[in-house]
Structure 1
Amino acid sequence: MTPLLEIRDLSVAFRTRKQDVTVVKNVSMEVMPGQTVAVVGESGSGKSTTAAAVNRLLPDNGRITAGRVVFEGRDLARASEREMTAIRGAGIGLVPQDPMSNLNPLMRIGDQIAEALEVHGVAAGKAARARVLELLDMVGIPDPARRIGQYPHEFSGGMRQRALIAMGLACRPRLLIADEPTSALDVTVQRRILDQLAQLTAEMGTAVFLITHDLALAAERADVVAVMYQGEIVETGPAARILAEPEHDYTRRLLRAVPSLSSVRVARPETPAEDLVVVDGLRKVFPIRGTGEELTAVDAVSFTIPRGRTVSIVGESGSGKSTTANLLLGLDDATAGSIRFDGTDLAGLGRRELFAFRRRVQPVFQNPYASLDPRYTVEKSITEPLRVHGVGTAAERRKSAADLLEKVSLPASLSDRLPHELSGGQRQRVAIARALALSPELVVLDEAVSALDVIVQAQILELLAELQRELGLSYLFISHDLAVVRMISDAVHVMRGGRIVESGTTDQIFDRPADDYTRELLAAIPGRPEADM
């Protein structure tokens, strides 16, 4: 059988201010019709760059320096831009990693998906609208008839990612490049979407080129796994063989670092602690523009965060997790209820008190690209909170930035880089370093490790635990990765539809779940049979 996609001796280099840097080195692989090939590796290993080279969507400072990329007999490395425009979308679909920077903030979601259908002559007018509604329903977006007219900022992070998946599948491409397509999604929606991709593969012969740092997902979904390290393919083979009998040391390191529900919990002090945060009867209602209706995003939510402890909130995308975090950070005002921090009600804080509060509470958001100023170097991003709060001299702030980079496993050589010159995982580590700069008492981590490969993720989790032990830090940890939640949490709250449906200690929630929805979340974890529940 002839490969649908054949990559031969591919090399890619990026032009920097000092020199050209080769980030993909002599990569070769094949994707057969109907096959799913997963490329796994740490952040910065070259896996996303390889995918971008296939679709000829490298950044302006990137270029293919050697090799061939043959799709359906045509070498895309040498195709004209006009030829590539015809191939993208119709022949090769794309689901990029970062939903916020890949959706037009000024266009309605439905119009953006319909545009892809119209450009490639698939459907127009009423037929395009009907197909858009079908796609939105297929990827698990509730109430598609209402959501079709909304803008990206009215979607949660996970819903924006689902909209991108709908766009990637819109024209029924023969090859779908999926770059971390479910990293922002809860496990139940992740399973639904990946089941749909598998169905397309079976029915239409659609091949999937999957880029992921989730080895459990790769093991469950891929036919072939290719492991990348420092720009090279170090091991390739059937998924079952790679995961069961890895040959390369790096592959074995990756497997050892994968968190699971049986992973040992990160050690923490067990002494009683007073409550730093008390959330009582929290409610947030948003008006739905143009309808006169309202959406209750958070409803009657109550919980506490003790000093020096980690409290996690889990639940599907759109359940109210991130809205709760924003209310706690003081980025939005509650409709009802109260949040008390160290005994003080946030609703009563004046401007000066709110400024002082923000030094004590720091966020790490889900989307590192949107939360880092694109004009700021890494060093400037990390030192900015110190400068704003008048901490240290310029030299002391630079020293702090270097120390923090080392703590989050980033080389000092990245200090003068801009965000677009970093991988997604590297950007998230910069965001974590910035949040730690002011030595806060509470850190709100909203999907803070979802963009990280498992090796760096393990390092960051251990770092967070170490800082908690040393400084008595408290964490509100929001995540859809239940294995990570089990490793790091003292208490867990399960949210659905804006409400907390179950609360308990980590062992209670994971070993003896009482709510059907909690059991559904646990059963949907990649590689975990439902029979285990």
Structure 2
Amino acid sequence: MSPLLEIRDLSVAFRTRERDVTVVRNVSMEIQPGQTVAVVGESGSGKSTTAAAVNRLLPDNGRITGGQVLFEGRDLTTASRREMTAIRGAGIGLVPQDPMSNLNPLMRVGDQIAEALQVHGVATGRAARARVLELLDMVGIPDPDRRIGQYPHEFSGGMRQRALIAMGLACRPRLLIADEPTSALDVTVQRRILDQLAALTAEMGTAVFLITHDLALAAERADVVAVMYQGEIVETGPAAAILADPAHEYTKRLLGAVPSLSSVRVSAPPAPAPDLVVVDGLRKVFPIRGTAEEFTAVDGVSFAIPRGRTVSIVGESGSGKSTTANLLLGLDTPTAGGIRFDGTDLTALGRKELFAFRRRVQPVFQNPYASLDPRYTVEKSIAEPLRVHGVGTAAERRKAAADLLEKVSLPASLAGRLPHELSGGQRQRVAIARALALSPELVVLDEAVSALDVLVQAQILELLAELQRELGLSYLFISHDLAVVRMISHAVHVMRDGRIVESGTAEEIFDHPSDDYTRELLAAIPGRSQ
């Protein structure tokens, strides 16, 4: 059988201010019809660049410098722009990594999915609407009749990612390139999406080119795993064989860093401590655009964050986790209930007091693409909070930025780069460094490690634990990755539909869950049996 996709000695280089940098070097691999091949590796290893080269969607400063990409025997490296437009969507579908920058904020989500159907002549008018509703339901977006007319900002991060998955599957492509397709999704929706991808593979012979840093997911879902390191494939073979008996030292390191529910805790042992934050009966209601109806995102939530402790909130996308975080950060106003920070009611703060409060509380948001100014260098982004709050001289701020880069395991050479010159994981580490610049008392981490490969994730979790021990930092840690939550948390609250359905220590929640929903979340973890 001829391969659906054959990559032969592919090399890709990026043009930088100083020189051309080769980021993919002589990569060769095959994907058969109906096969799922996963490429795993750390951030910056070249896996997403390889996928972008296949679809000829490299950034302006990127170019293919050698090799071939054969799709159904046709070399895409020499295809015209018009030919590539015809192939994308219908022949090769794409689920990109970032739901924020890949959805048009000015178009309704349903219209964006329908556009893919119309461009490739699959469906128009009522037929297109019916197909869009089917796709929204398939990827787990509730109430598709209402959601079809909403804009991206009215979707949670995970729901935006599901919309991108619907777009990638809309034209039933023969090959689907899925670049970290479930990194923003909770485990229950992740399982539903991946089950659907598997069903498509069986039904239509659709092949899946899966880019992921989640080795457990790769082990569970892929037929073949290719491990990339520094732009090269260092090991490839059947998923079970690679993960059961890795030959390359880098693969062994990756496997050793994968978090599981039996991983060693990095957080300090809990001890009595006064509460820094007290949330009492918090409620947030949003009006639904174009109707007289309202949506309750947070409904009567109460919890506390002791000084020097990590409190985590877990739950599905759309459960109210991020809304709770935004209320705590003072980025939104509660409809009812209260938040006290160090004894002060946040709702009573004036403009000057709120500015001072934000120096003591810093966020790390879910999306590293949208949270960094594309015009700012890495150094300027990290030093910006210091400048805004009048801390230090320009030279002192530069020195602080360099120290923070080192803390988050980034080389000093990145200081002068712009965000588009960084990988997704590198951008997230810059965001973490920026949050630490003002030495805050509370850091709100909203899916802060979901974009990171397991090696860097382990480093960041260790760093967060070390900073907590040294500085007495408190964390509100919001995540859908339950294994990570268990490693770092002192207390865990499980949210569903805007309410906390179960609370306890990490051990209580993960070893003896009492709520059916918590048990469902735990059961859906990829590689749970490991």
Q: Deviations over 1:158-189 (max 9, x none)?
A: 00000000000000000000000000000000
Gap runs ≥5 in structure 1 = none
Distance across 1 between alignment mates of 2:463 and 2:293:
45
How far did 1:269 drift?
A: 4.4
Give distance in 1, aligned partners of 2:85 and 2:407: 43
- Aligned-residue CA RMSD (Å): 0.8
CA distance in 1, matches of 2:475, 2:458: 17
Contact 2:267 2:489 in 1 (8 A): no
For residues 49-69 of structure 1, give each alpha carbon's deviation from its aligned partner in whole angstroms, at most 9, with x where no partner exists.
000000000000000000000
Supply the distance in 2 between the matched residues of 1:99 and 1:262 (Cα, whole angstroms): 31
1:192 positional shift: 0.1
Unpaired runs of at least 5, structure 2: none
Could you tell me how far apart the structure 2 residues matched to 1:476 and 1:374 are?
Answer: 27
* Cα shift readout 1:286-345 (whole Å, capped 9, x = no counterpart): 000101100000000000000000000000000000000000000000000000000000
SS where residue 373 of structure 1 aligns? Answer: coil
Aligned counterparts of 1:240 and 1:42: Cα–Cα separation in 2: 20
Measured in 2, the distance between the counterparts of 1:101 and 1:267 equals: 34
TM-score after normalising by structure 1 = 0.99
Does the aligned pair in 1 maintain the 2:279–2:303 contact within 8 Å? yes
Distance of 1:270 and 1:365 partners within structure 2: 26
8 Å contact from structure 1 (residues 189, 316) kept in 2: yes
Paired position in structure 2 for 1:233: 233
Structure 2 Cα separation of the partners of residues 422 and 46 of structure 1 = 12
Residues in 1 aligned to 2:419 and 2:267: alpha-carbon distance in whole angstroms: 33
Q: SS where residue 59 of structure 2 aligns? A: coil
Q: Give the Cα separation in 2 of the matches to 1:517 and 1:150.
A: 28
Q: Which residue of 2 aligns with 1:62?
A: 62
Query: Contact conserved, 2:270 with 2:490, CA < 8 A, in 1?
Result: no
Could you give the per-residue CA deviations for residues 343-388 of structure 1, whole angstroms, max 9, x where no partner exists? 0000000111101100000000000111110100000000000000
TM-superposition CA deviations, 1:118-139 (whole Å, max 9, x none): 0000000000000000000000
Q: Secondary structure at the match of 2:100?
A: helix
Deviation at 1:452, TM superposition (A): 0.2
Contact 1:279 1:304 in 2 (8 A): yes
Report whether the alignment pairs 1:132 with 2:95: no
Deviations, residues 5-55 of structure 1 (Å, cap 9, x unaligned): 000000000001110000000000000000000000000000000000000
Residue deviations 1:462-497, cap 9 Å, x none? 000000000000000000000000000000000000
Q: 1:201-235: per-residue Cα shift (whole Å, max 9, x none)? A: 00000000000000000000000000000000000
3-state DSSP of counterpart to 1:226: strand
Misfit runs of 4+, over 4 Å:
none
CA distance in 1, matches of 2:369, 2:202: 35
Q: Secondary structure at the match of 2:256?
A: helix
Q: Contact conserved, 1:494 with 1:503, CA < 8 A, in 2?
A: yes
Per the alignment, residue 477 of structure 1 pairs with: 477
- Aligned residue pair count: 530
Q: Is the 8 A contact 2:281 2:301 kept in 1?
A: yes
Kept after mapping to 2: 8 A contact 1:4/1:31:
yes
1:270 deviation in Å?
3.1
8 Å CA contact 2:213–2:454 kept in 1: the answer is: yes
Per the alignment, in what secondary structure is the counterpart of residue 370 of structure 1? coil
* Superposed counterparts of 1:120-519, under 5 Å: 120-519=120-519
Structure 2: how far apart are the matches of 1:460 and 1:95? 27
The 8 Å contact of residues 269 and 469 in structure 1, kept in 2 or not, is answered as no
Deviations 1:61-85 (A, max 9, x none): 0000000000001000110000000
Distance 2:6 2:312 in 1: 44
CA distance in 2, matches of 1:103, 1:421: 21
Q: For residue 271 of structure 1, report the CA deviation from its aligned partner.
A: 2.6
Contact 2:283/2:299 (<8 A) preserved: yes
Q: CA deviation at 1:397?
A: 0.5
TM-score with structure 2 setting the length:
1.00
Query: CA contact under 8 A between 2:267 and 2:490: conserved in structure 1?
Result: no
Q: Distance in 2 between matches of 1:316 and 1:229?
A: 32
**SS in structure 1 at match of 2:6:** strand
Instruction: Note if contact 2:270-2:309 (Cα within 8 Å) is conserved in structure 1.
Output: no
SS in 2 for 1:99: coil
User: Is this contact kept in 1: 2:176–2:208, CA < 8 A?
Assistant: yes
Identity level (%):
90
Q: Is the partner of 2:86 in helix, strand or coil?
A: helix
Stretch moving more, 455-464 or 263-272: 263-272
- Give the Cα–Cα distance (whole angstroms) in 1 for the partners of residues 189 and 439 of structure 2: 36
CA contact (8 A) 2:281 2:337 kept: yes
Measure, in 2, the Cα distance between the counterparts of 1:474 and 1:271: 13
1:135–1:406 CA distance, 2 compared to 1 (3 A): same
Encode CA deviations 1:79-99: one digit per residue, 9 max, x unaligned. Answer: 000000000000000000001
Distance 1:18 1:264 in 2: 43
Aligned counterparts of 1:270 and 1:288: Cα–Cα separation in 2? 42
What corresponds to 1:521 in structure 2? 521
- The answer (yes or no) to whether the contact 1:180–1:211 under 8 Å persists in 2 is yes
Question: Partners in 2 of 1:527 and 1:253 — Cα distance?
Answer: 18
> How far did 1:267 drift?
4.0
SS at match of 1:193: helix
* Residues 386-416 of structure 1: per-residue CA shift (max 9 Å, x gap): 0000111111110110010011010111001
Q: What SS class does the counterpart of residue 458 from structure 2 fall into?
A: helix
